[in-house]
Chains A and B, each alone.
Chain A
Amino acid sequence: MKVIKTILKRKLNWVALPLVVLFLVTATFAPLLAPTDPSAVDLEQKLSPPSHSHLLGTDHLGRDILSRLIWGARTSMGSVFLIINLVMITSLVVGSISGYIGGKVDSLFMRICEIFLTFPTFILAMFLIGVLGTGMINVVLAIALTHWAWYARIIRSLVLSMKNREYILAARVVGTSHWQIFVKHLAPPVLAQLVILATLDIGHMMLHVSGLSFLGLGVQPPMPEWGVMINDARQYIWTQPELIMYPGLMIFLAVLAFNILGDTFRDSLDPDILAEEA
C-alpha cells in the first residue's frame, strides 16, 4: 500500500501508471486482443490504408499493423522480463558471494566484473550476437551478459555495507548459519533495492532490444517486434510514414512510462547505490 501511495503522489505517474498497466495487459493477453494473426501475409492487401478489417492498415506484406503492434508489446515486455530476471539472479549470486565471503573469491569476481565493464555495452552485445546468432533468446542472453556486472558491483557494495551491521552480528552471535543469515537478513533488503534499480533500467533495456532488432541483429522477422517493424517500414518513409510512426510511438510510450515510474522509486534507493551510480 505504501508503494501505491508513493506512486500516486507524483502527478506524472497518473499518466505513466495506466500506460504501464496497459502495456502489461496487452502483452499478457495479446492472443486474445489482436484482431488477426500478426504474421498472416496477404499480398493483395499490402500497404492498404486503415479500414474496418484493418484498423491501422497493413504493411508491405499485407499484415495487419494493429495486430503486429499488440504482439510487439508481448515480444518487448517478454524479452525485457527475461533479461531483468537473468540479470537479477546472476548479479545477486555473484554480488552476494563476493560481498559476504570477501577475500580471494571477492577479488576474482570483481576482476571479472571489471572486464565486462571495459567494453562499450551495445557493441559487446552486437559482438555476442555475432557469435551466438540472432533470435530473441540470443538477444536476451547478450543483453543480460552485458548488464549483469554493473548490478553485481552494486550488490556487492550493498552487502558489504550491511554485513557488519549490529543485527547481522547479533544473528551470528546466537549461532545462525551463514545461509540463514543470507536468506533471512541480507537477501530481502538487497532484493528490494535490486528491484528498484531494475525498474530504472527497464526502459534502457527495451531500447537495446528494439535497437538490435532494428539492425537485424535481434528478434527476427516474421516475429512481430517494434524495432523490426521500423526497419521493415524504412523504405516507405516517403509514401507511408505512419508505418514508422506507429511502432516508434509504441517504443517511445512504453519506455517513457517505465522511465517515469522508475524515477519515482529513485528517492527510495539506498544512498550507497546513488553514490555508486554517479
Chain B
Amino acid sequence: MLKFIFRRLLTLIPLLLVVSILVFLILRLGENDPAMAYLRLSQIPPTDDALATARETLGLNRPWTVQYFDWLWRTFHLDFGNSYVTGTPVLERILYYLPNTLYLAGVAFLITIVLSLPLGVMAALKKDRIPDHLTRVLAFIGVSTPNFWLGFMLVFLFSVHLGWLPPMGKGGIAHVIMPAFSLALMSLCINIRLVRASMLEQMNSRSVLYARVRGIFEKWVVGRHIFKNSMIPVITAIGMHIGEMLGGAVVVEMIFAWPGVGRFAVSSIYNRDFPVMQCFILMMTVIFVCSNLAVDIVNAWIDPRIRYEGNN
C-alpha cells in the first residue's frame, strides 16, 4: 500500500512541473504584455520609459528560461508575487478567501454524498418502478439546470418570495444552504444515476448469485455484497465531481456574493492581474490533482486488485 502511494506521488512531480511550464508559457504567449498590464493597473501612463522600468522591476527583460526558473523557485517557496492591483502578496489574499470556497464546496460535497447514496440505492432496488422513474426525471432536470440560473430561482423563491433564507453573503448555516445546493445539484444528479447503475451491475454478478444461493439474508446481500462492491466507480467519480465543484463554485460565489476565491479570481481575470491568475489556476489544479490522488488511494485500499495491477 505504501509503495503504491509513493509511486503515485512520484508520477505527480513531472506532471505538476509540466503544468507549471504550461501555465507560465500560456500567460506569456498571448498578446498580453505583463508590463503593460502592470502599468495600467498601477495607473502609470505607458510611456516607453515607464515600460522599460516596469520590465526591469518585474524582471521581464531576462530570458524566458531564467524567468521561468526564478518564478518556479519562488513558487516552491510559496512566493507568488504581488498583485498588480493592490501591490500586496497574492498568496495572502488567496489564502484569505480559500477557506470560504472550501467550506462552500465541502457542504455541497456533503449534500451530494448524503443524498445520492440512499436515492441511488433506492432507484436500483426499485428498478423500473416509480422511485426509479422519479430519480431518472430528477437526474435529467438536475444536469440540465444551469447553476447560475438555479441560484437566482432559489433566491427568488426563498428570499424574495418566502423570506426564509438570506439572499447573499456569508454568515450562519442559513447562508450556506442555497449556494451549496446550487453547487451540488449537478453532481448530485449524476451521482444518483451512477450509484444506481453500479448497484445494478453488481446485482447481476456471480458473487451475489452465490450469496443468494447460500441463503444469506437479503439485507446482508444488499449491504455487504452489492453496495460495498458498487462503490468503486462512485468513488472514482468523486474526483470528477470535485473538479466540477471548483469551477461551479466560481459561478455560485458570484451569485450569492460569497466571499470566496472564485470572485477574487474573476476580477483578476477582468483586470489581467497576472500573478493572481497564475496563483489561482495552480492552486485549483493542485487541489484537483490531490483529490484525484486521494480517490485513487481509497480505491486501491478498498480493491486490492488495483494495488497489484499498479505494482506490475
Are the chains A and B members of one assembly?
yes
* Contact A120 B243, CB 8 Å, known A126-B265, A260-B140: yes
Task: Summarize A's interface: helix, strand, loop or mixed.
Answer: helix
Report the stretch among B56-64, B90-98, B284-292 that lies at the interface: B284-292
Residues from chain A with a CB closer than 8 A to the CB of B250 are 122-123, 126, 215
CB <8 Å contact, B148 and A227: yes
Report the stretch among B1-9, B25-33, B171-179, B300-308 that lies at the interface: B25-33
CB <8 Å contact, B160 and A230: no
CB <8 Å contact, B148 and A123: no
CB <8 Å contact, A244 and B19: no
Q: How many residues of B contact A (CB 8 A)?
A: 50
Report the stretch among B112-120, B124-132, B269-277 that lies at the interface: B269-277
CB <8 Å contact, B251 and A211: yes
- From A131, A203, A230, A248, name the one whose CB has the most chain B CB atoms within 10 angstroms: A131
Please measure, in the bound complex, the distance between the C-alpha atom of A211 and the C-alpha atom of B156, giving whole angstroms: 19
CB distance from B73 to the nearest CB of A (A): 22
Q: Does B162 contact A (CB under 8 A)?
A: no
Residues from chain B with a CB closer than 8 A to the CB of A29 are none
Q: Does B141 contact A (CB under 8 A)?
A: yes
Residues from chain A with a CB closer than 8 A to the CB of B248 are 122
CB distance from A118 to the nearest CB of B (A): 6
Q: Does A1 contact B (CB under 8 A)?
A: no
CB distance from A129 to the nearest CB of B (A): 7
Residues from chain B with a CB closer than 8 A to the CB of A115 are 15, 18-19, 22
Q: Does A207 contact B (CB under 8 A)?
A: yes
Q: Does B226 contact A (CB under 8 A)?
A: no
Residues from chain B with a CB closer than 8 A to the CB of A260 are 140
Residues from chain B with a CB closer than 8 A to the CB of A133 are 31
With both beta carbons as reference points, the residue of chain A lying nearest to B287 in the complex is identified as A120
Please measure, in the bound complex, the distance between the C-alpha atom of A244 and the C-alpha atom of B160, giving whole angstroms: 14
Please measure, in the bound complex, the distance between the C-alpha atom of A203 and the C-alpha atom of B141, giving whole angstroms: 12
Q: Does B149 contact A (CB under 8 A)?
A: yes
Please measure, in the bound complex, the distance between the C-alpha atom of A144 and the C-alpha atom of B50, giving whole angstroms: 38
Q: Does A14 contact B (CB under 8 A)?
A: no
CB <8 Å contact, B146 and A119: no
Please measure, in the bound complex, the distance between the C-alpha atom of A278 and the C-alpha atom of B194, giving whole angstroms: 9
CB distance from A28 to the nearest CB of B (A): 22
Q: Does A132 contact B (CB under 8 A)?
A: yes
* Contact A207 B146, CB 8 Å, known A215-B266, A260-B140: yes
Q: Which of A144-166 contact B (CB under 8 A)?
A: none
CB <8 Å contact, A259 and B156: no
Q: Which of A228-278 contact B (CB under 8 A)?
A: 230, 234, 237-238, 241, 244-245, 247-248, 251-252, 255-256, 259-260, 263, 278
Please measure, in the bound complex, the distance between the C-alpha atom of A251 and the C-alpha atom of B146, giving whole angstroms: 7
Q: Does A139 contact B (CB under 8 A)?
A: no
Please measure, in the bound complex, the distance between the C-alpha atom of A244 and the C-alpha atom of B31, giving whole angstroms: 35
* Contact A237 B156, CB 8 Å, known A114-B15, A119-B288, A123-B250: yes
CB <8 Å contact, B269 and A211: no
Q: Which of B139-179 contact A (CB under 8 A)?
A: 140-141, 143-149, 152-153, 155-156, 160
The one of B145, B147, B255, B277 in contact with A127, judged by C-beta atoms closer than 8 angstroms, is B277
CB distance from B278 to the nearest CB of A (A): 9
CB distance from A263 to the nearest CB of B (A): 8
* Contact A237 B254, CB 8 Å, known A115-B18, A216-B266: no
* Contact A123 B266, CB 8 Å, known A130-B277, A259-B143: no
User: Can you spell out 27 A-B residue pairs with CB atoms less than 8 angstroms apart?
Assistant: A111-B18, A115-B19, A119-B281, A120-B243, A120-B244, A122-B244, A123-B281, A123-B284, A126-B265, A127-B281, A131-B32, A132-B30, A203-B144, A211-B147, A215-B251, A216-B270, A217-B266, A227-B148, A230-B148, A237-B152, A237-B160, A241-B160, A244-B156, A252-B144, A252-B146, A256-B140, A259-B144
Q: Which 9 A-B pairs have the closest CB atoms?
A: A122-B247, A248-B149, A256-B144, A130-B269, A131-B30, A120-B243, A255-B144, A127-B281, A120-B288
Known: A118-B285, A259-B143, A278-B233. 8 other contacts (CB 8 A): A118-B288, A126-B266, A127-B26, A130-B269, A203-B143, A210-B146, A241-B160, A248-B146
